[in-house]
């Protein structure tokens, strides 16, 4: 099992049953591949069989639900916009700044 992060939650009008139905319908997967679902206010976490994770991500990532674009990725992976080092950004210490 792997854990996926999805930026959809209770604020989007979902309850556990409606969220489950939504992700299963969108991904065309069977509920047997799912484990625990943690539905939070602004986002959720889904445990899913490792073999089915890619299908879930491809089915949902970038789609819209109630006007909001869905972002889904492995929970231990940082989104691309959060990776400063890879973007070439360097931190400067305040002591090195010239005013």
pLDDT in tens, 39-50: 999 999 999 999
From the centroid of its chain, how far is CA 74? 7
Query: What domains can you pick out in the chain, each with its CATH number?
Result: 2-78 (3.30.70.330)
CA angle 79–40–82, rounded 5-degree value = 15
pTM, two decimal places = 0.73
The answer to whether residue 70 scores a pLDDT higher than 80 is: yes
Task: Identify how many contiguous H helices and E strands the chain contains and give both numbers.
Answer: 2, 6
Alpha carbons within 13 A on the beta-carbon side of 9: 12
For residue 68, the model assigns a pLDDT of 87
Task: Write out the H or E segment, with its range, that includes residue 35.
Answer: strand 34-39
Helix axis angle for 50-60 and 16-27, nearest 10°, is 90
For residue 84, the model assigns a pLDDT of 47
CA angle 81–85–91, rounded 5-degree value = 110
């Amino acid at each position: 099992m792997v854990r996926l992060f999805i930026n959809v939650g209770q604020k989007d009008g979902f309850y556990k049953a409606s969220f489950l139905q939504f992700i299963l319908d969108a991904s065309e997967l069977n509920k047997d591949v799912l484990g625990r679902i943690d539905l939070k206010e602004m986002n959720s976490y889904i445990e899913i069989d490792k073999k089915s994770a890619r299908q879930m991500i491809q089915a949902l990532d970038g789609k819209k639900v109630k006007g909001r674009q869905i972002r889904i990725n492995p929970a231990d992976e940082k989104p691309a916009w959060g990776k400063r080092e890879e973007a070439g950004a360097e931190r400067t210490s305040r002591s090195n700044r010239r005013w």
